[in-house]
Amino acid sequence: MPPYLAGREREKEEFARLLDQESILDNLVLTGLRGVGKTVLLDTLKPMAHAKDWLWVGNDLSESSSMTERNLSTRLLADLAVATSNIVVSTRKRPSAGFVPTAGTAERVLDFNALQRIWNDTPGLASDKLKAVLDRTWDALEPNGVPGVVFAYDEAQNLADHGSRDEYPLSLLLDAFQSIQRKGTPYMLALVGLPTLFPKLVDARTFAERMFRVVMLDRLSEQASSDAMTKPIESFGSPTSLTPESVKRIYEASRGYPYFIQFICREAFDVWMLQPRAEIPISGILRKLDDDFFAGRWARVTDRQRDLLVIIAHLDSSSREFSVQDIVSASKRSAKPFTSSHVNRMLVSLGEAGLVYKNRRGRYSLAVPLLDAFILRQLEEQGQ
Ligand SMILES: Nc1ncnc2c1ncn2[C@@H]1O[C@H](COP(=O)(O)OP(=O)(O)OP(=O)(O)O)[C@@H](O)[C@H]1O
Ligand SMILES: [Mg+2]
Three-state SS for 216? strand
CATH of 303-381, one of 3.20.190.10, 1.20.5.510, 3.40.50.720, 1.10.10.10: 1.10.10.10
How many Å apart are CA 15 and CA 319, to the nearest integer?
A: 28
Q: Which of 313, 258, 266 is nearest to 285 (CA)?
A: 266
**What is the position in ligand 1's atom list of the atom closest to the CA of 8?**
1
How many Å apart are CA 378 and CA 384, to the nearest integer?
A: 9
By most ligand atoms within 8 Å of CB, the mutation choice from 1, 4, 11, 40 for ligand 1 is: 40
Cβ atoms of residues 350 and 308 within 8 Å: yes
Q: Which of 233, 262, 261 is nearest to 248 (CA)?
A: 261
C-alpha 259 to ligand 2 mean position (Å): 11
Ligand nearest to the CA of 354: 1
Domain positions in the chain are 9-82+118-216, 222-280, 303-381
**What is the position in ligand 1's atom list of the atom closest to the CA of 5?**
3
Angle formed by the axes of helices 340-352 and 324-331, nearest 10°: 120
C-alpha 40 to ligand 1 mean position (Å): 6
C-alpha 239 to ligand 2 mean position (Å): 32
C-alpha 164 to ligand 2 mean position (Å): 29
Ligand nearest to the CA of 31: 1
Please write the tens of the pLDDT for every residue from 198-255.
999 999 999 999 999 999 999 999 999 999 999 998 998 887 788 899 999 999 999 9
Cβ atoms of residues 181 and 85 within 8 Å: no
Pairing of strands 105-109, 88-92: antiparallel
Ligand nearest to the CA of 224: 1
- Its pTM surpasses 0.85: yes
Distances (CA, A) of 113 to 74, 77, 108, 109, 233: 11, 9, 11, 9, 48
C-alpha 328 to ligand 1 mean position (Å): 35
How many Å apart are CA 80 and CA 242, to the nearest integer?
A: 45
**What is the position in ligand 1's atom list of the atom closest to the CA of 40?**
18
Fold of the 9-82+118-216 domain: Rossmann fold (3.40.50)
Ligand nearest to the CA of 293: 1
DSSP state of 294: I
How many Å apart are CA 49 and CA 187, to the nearest integer?
A: 12
Residue nearest (by alpha carbon) to ligand 1 atom 29: 259
Q: Which residues pair with 60 in a beta bridge?
A: 154
Print pLDDT tens along the chain (384 aa).
Answer: 999 999 999 999 999 999 999 899 999 999 999 999 999 999 999 999 999 999 999 999 988 888 999 999 999 999 999 999 988 776 655 544 444 445 556 677 899 999 999 999 999 999 999 999 999 999 999 999 999 999 999 999 999 999 999 999 999 999 999 999 999 999 999 999 999 899 999 999 999 999 999 999 999 999 999 999 999 989 988 877 888 999 999 999 999 999 999 999 999 988 888 887 778 889 899 999 999 999 999 999 999 999 999 999 999 999 999 999 999 999 998 888 999 999 999 999 999 888 999 887 889 999 999 999 999 999 988 876
C-alpha 2 to ligand 1 mean position (Å): 8
Fold match between domain 9-82+118-216 and domain 303-381: no
Question: What single string gives the DSSP state of each residue in 334-368?
Answer: SSS---HHHHHHHHHHHHHTTSEEE-TTS-EEESS
| CB contact set of 284 (below 8 Å; sequence gap of 6+) | none
Residues with CB under 6 A from ligand 1: 2, 5-8, 32, 34-40, 228, 258-259, 262
Residue nearest (by alpha carbon) to ligand 1 atom 15: 37
Q: What are phi and psi of 68, to 5 degrees?
A: -130, 165
How many Å apart are CA 344 and CA 321, to the nearest integer?
A: 15
Please write the tens of the pLDDT for every residue from 326-338.
999 999 988 889 9
Ligand nearest to the CA of 259: 1
C-alpha 82 to ligand 1 mean position (Å): 26
Residue nearest (by alpha carbon) to ligand 1 atom 23: 35
| CB contact set of 11 (below 8 Å; sequence gap of 6+) | 30, 41, 215, 217
Cβ atoms of residues 152 and 190 within 8 Å: yes
By most ligand atoms within 8 Å of CB, the mutation choice from 220, 223, 259, 267 for ligand 1 is: 259
